[in-house]
Amino acid sequence: MSMDTQFNLFGLALTGNILAAFLPALLALIAITFGKQKAALLLTGAACVIALRVGVLNPIALVGLACLFGLSYGFAHCQHNGGKMALGLALFVVVVALLVHALPGFNNPLVTEAVLINDNAVPYAKHLNFDKLMVAIALMCFVMPSRLSATVKDWQRIGLVSLATLLIGFGAGLTSGLVNFAPKWSEYFVGWALINLFVTCFAEEAFFRGFIQTQIAKVTQHLRFSRYYPLLFSGLLFGLAHFPAGFAYTGIATLLGLACAYGYQKSHNLLVPIGIHFGFNLIHFCFFTYPFIAR
């Protein structure tokens, strides 16, 4: 079997070439999660070389990736306030462009094509996004702090906020007609879970919490009610990013964003909002219409 022969794994349409390009990148993400920066960067370099070789990347994509990693490194090490602000704004633009797949040269493979997870749902399709994965790695390598400082009382509060988010969020989804209660096992579950956790949740939380929330906290730390600004800005921005799916979806996403922001503020550990985000998505996929009811 050649490396470009397609096969199905965990509900994903893959090839050997796709696996060869993405596996080192996923290992890099795991490495940086455990604080192994050098190993993560070496694996990321290997992933980019292989991705170029198999066509997941075109050479022009290297410009965007060089900007991403260069700006992340410069932002982390710059000591001049004006320079740091300029680098931060430039990094914000580059990251957003990568998250919305606006930079050229990325041939993100379509691994799930217009399937119905529920009979009354809108068709679900999924790309394996190399650009989004690179965002998570770059920000986690250079930009965001990673330390765990939550007390027992903090963990209790995080748990209560997470539970309230589930109850209010899915209650709102049911009452608005966005979803129905629809428990299920899907053949696409394992593939969906891997991509949702390691690509979607890691990248989005690294950006909205690790970068945006952290920087807003630094800027507003001397203001009155300073602890609320990072929560509100991070949560609202996360919600607005989901606006193309409609008002109800945006409102629920905002609620989830606020819960993730609260978890990050209390723990100072990116794995906490990642867990909240993925847990919410997991319950959505397993027990409710996914992604939402077709109209």
pLDDT tens digits, 87-135 = 999 999 999 999 999 999 999 999 999 899 999 999 999 999 999 999 9
| Helical spans, DSSP H, in the chain | 16-33, 37-54, 61-77, 81-99, 130-138, 152-175, 189-195, 202-205, 214-219, 228-240, 247-267, 271-287
Contact 127, 198 (CB under 8 A): no
Instruction: Check residue 114 and give its pLDDT.
Output: 87
- Check residue 3 and give its pLDDT: 80
Query: Residue for token digits 């939550």?
Result: 150
In sequence order, which residues have a C-beta less than 8 Å from that of residue 133 and are 6 or more positions away?
A: 22, 25, 26, 29, 198, 199, 202, 203
The pTM of this model reads: 0.95
> What is the torsion angle, in degrees rounded to the nearest 10, for the CA atoms of residue 158, residue 160, residue 162 and residue 168?
-150
- DSSP conformation letters of 83-123: HHHHHHHHHHHHHHHHHTT-STTB---EEEEEE-SSTTBPP
User: What is the CA angle 89-35-100, rounded to 5?
Assistant: 35
Record the tokens describing residue 186, joined without a space. 């899907």
Tracing tokens 């300073």 back to the chain, one arrives at 226
Distance, in Å, from the CA atom of 158 to the CA atom of 207, rounded to the nearest integer, reads: 20
pLDDT of residue 144: 78
CA dihedral 65, 67, 70, 73 (to 10 degrees): -90
The pLDDT confidence band at residue 293, using thresholds 50, 70 and 90, is very high
pLDDT tens track for 1-41 = 578 889 898 899 999 999 999 999 999 999 999 999 999 99
pLDDT band, very low/low/confident/very high, at 222 (cuts 50, 70, 90): confident
Res. 147: pLDDT tops 90: no
Residue 54, pLDDT > 70, answer: yes
Distances (CA, A) of 213 to 95, 208, 219, 227, 259: 15, 6, 10, 10, 13
Q: Are 289 and 180 in contact (CB under 8 A)?
A: yes
What pLDDT is recorded for position 233? 96
Q: Is pLDDT at 276 greater than 70 in this prediction?
A: yes
pLDDT above 70: percentage of residues in the chain: 98
Crossing angle for the helix pair 152-175 and 271-287, nearest 10 degrees?
A: 30
Q: How confident is the model at residue 148 (pLDDT cuts 50, 70, 90)?
A: low
Q: Comparing C-alpha atoms, which of 255, 262, 263 is closest to residue 231?
A: 262
231 pLDDT more than 70: yes
Taking only the tens place, the pLDDT of each residue in 175-187 is 999 999 999 999 9
- The length of the chain in residues reads 295
Q: Is the pLDDT of residue 146 over 70?
A: no
Q: Which residue has the tokens 């797949």?
A: 101
Domain spans in the chain, listed from the N-terminal domain onward? 1-143, 149-295
What is the structure's pLDDT at 150?
Answer: 74
Q: State the chain's mean pLDDT as an integer.
A: 94
Answer whether residue 223 shows pLDDT above 90.
no
User: What is the mean pLDDT of the segment spanning 71-92?
Assistant: 95
One-letter amino acid at 93 equals V
* Alpha carbon 154 to chain centroid, angstroms: 24
Q: Which of 276, 195, 198 is nearest to 235 (CA)?
A: 276
Per-residue pLDDT for 52 more than 90? yes
Cis peptide before 183 (omega within 30 of 0): no
Q: Is the pLDDT of residue 145 over 80?
A: no
Place of tokens 């470009």: 4
